Amino acid sequence: MDIELRKIDNNNRAECERLSVSSGQEQYIASNTKSLAAAGKSPGIARPFAVYADGRMVGFAMFAFDENNDDPEDRYWLWRFMIDEREQGKGYGRAALTEIIGYFRKHGADSITLSTKEPNVRALDLYHRFGFPETGQMNDDEIVLKLYL
């Protein structure tokens, strides 16, 4: 399986916006359309990517790289991560998260922070398997996890 992160641009934006999670998962993550709108409000910080598997778009991820943040513990975030409902259960989430962690390392991040809602057990299980411990902090109603690289 060949996983690749490609920047969102005019050529792949509409396809990315058509990706969606299952109806039971919608409570855990904003739509890709909303995420891309939020990215537009944080230029230079938000980094939106489409996740491709063997040349097909299967998911979406958005990172925050805020090297100018005064708090070094709050500079690098995995803001969004989703695999399309039709592509779940095929190993793309695990493979994409490996690629995402590699991206953070390659671009100088010393940690990755993320948050998710406690009932999102599938996501929490994935993050725990990759070594993301819970910090004990909350981001609104979401559990914060942080992986030191």
Hunting for tokens 């592509």 — which residue is that? 87
State the Cα torsion 34-31-114-137 to the nearest 10°: 80
Token couple for 44:
């230079």
User: Is the distance from CB of 51 to CB of 60 less than 8 angstroms?
Assistant: yes
Picking from 44, 51, 98, the residue whose alpha carbon sits closest to that of residue 75 is 44
93 vs 98: CA distance, rounded Å:
9
Catalytic position from the list 52, 92, 127, 148? 127
Catalytic status, residue 127: yes
Q: Is 69 helix (H, G, I), strand (E, B) or coil?
A: coil
Instruction: Specify the DSSP class assigned to residue 42.
Output: S
- Extract the tokens encoding 91: 């190993």
Between CA 75 and CA 87 the distance in angstroms is: 31
Which active-site residues does the annotation give?
127
